[in-house]
């Protein structure tokens, strides 16, 4: 039978208050995640989480190029925003948020491990050269529909959603479960429009609860 899963994107300490790449109100997404986890568990739907998981000298780090964080450059032939060092493997900052109901997470997909290329999407690296294990995990369980939320709206959520749509998944985005980096102030709003234009359906948590049996 066709199944649905909740995909929690990068709900990690480094994207929350006090973290290396803190996103405005990032922590506020954790309550939304826990509510959706309960909702999915009650219906027997799978819960997955992703983790940005970089080696200490990852090529997306501004520190590796002697440039200021949030400047633009190139990595492996692709345009790249250079970031503060963040989500370094095994560090506190890379852990899932302590208030997230982590016991309910059935699988964790790690990405960004190759130092030569960044990986925003939970499915592929930014060059679509290598796959994570996410698609195989979903296929094995007949999962064809995703509920997606997390951090950051304008990077990992957006590229995960666009790849999922391209792969043929039905995608529902819970907007109040997302917060963005907003290097430019409208980036998150733009990202939601791109996701919707590509075929995602956007819901607030309240809309979702009201409209889905």
Q: Please report, as ranges, the residues that interact with Zn ion according to CB under 5 A.
A: 52
> CB neighbours (10 Å) of residue 199?
14
Binding mask 170-209 for ligand VGL (x = CB under 6 A): ----------------------------------------
**Catalytic site positions:** 10, 111, 156
| Interacting residue with ligand VGL among 10, 27, 85, 163 (CB under 6 A) | 10
**Closest distance of CB 10 from ligand VGL, Å:** 4
> CB neighbours (10 Å) of residue 139?
11
* Residue 111 parent element (H or E): strand 107-111
Q: Does 151 bind ligand VGL (CB under 6 A)?
A: yes
| Interacting residue with ligand VGL among 27, 32, 37, 52 (CB under 6 A) | 52
CA atoms within 13 A on the CB side of 15: 31
**Closest distance of CB 36 from ligand VGL, Å:** 18
Q: How far apart are CA 80 and CA 58, in angstroms?
A: 12
Q: How far apart are CA 65 and CA 61, in angstroms?
A: 7
Q: How far apart are CA 71 and CA 73, in angstroms?
A: 7
Q: Point out which residues bind ligand VGL (CB under 6 A).
A: 10, 52, 83, 120, 151-152, 155-156
């Amino acid at each position: 039978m066709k199944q649905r899963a909740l995909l929690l994107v990068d709900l990690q300490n480094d994207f929350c208050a006090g973290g290396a790449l803190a996103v405005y109100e990032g922590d506020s997404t954790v309550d939304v995640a826990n509510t959706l986890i309960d909702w999915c568990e009650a219906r027997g739907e799978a819960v997955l989480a992703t983790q940005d998981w970089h080696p200490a000298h990852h090529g997306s780090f501004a520190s590796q190029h002697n440039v200021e964080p949030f400047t633009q450059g190139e990595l492996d032939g692709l345009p790249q925003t250079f970031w503060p060092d963040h989500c370094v493997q095994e560090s506190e900052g890379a852990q899932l948020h302590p208030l997230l109901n982590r016991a309910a997470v059935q699988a964790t997909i790690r990405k960004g491990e190759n130092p030569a290329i960044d990986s925003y999407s939970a499915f592929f690296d930014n060059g679509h050269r290598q796959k994570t294990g996410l698609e195989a995990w979903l296929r094995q369980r007949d999962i064809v529909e995703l509920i997606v939320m997390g951090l950051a709206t304008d990077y990992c959520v957006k590229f995960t959603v666009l790849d999922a749509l391209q792969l043929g998944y039905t995608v529902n985005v819970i907007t109040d479960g997302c917060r963005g980096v907003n290097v430019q102030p409208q980036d998150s709003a733009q990202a939601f429009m791109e996701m919707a234009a590509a075929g995602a359906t956007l819901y607030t948590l309240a809309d979702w609860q009201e409209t889905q049996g």
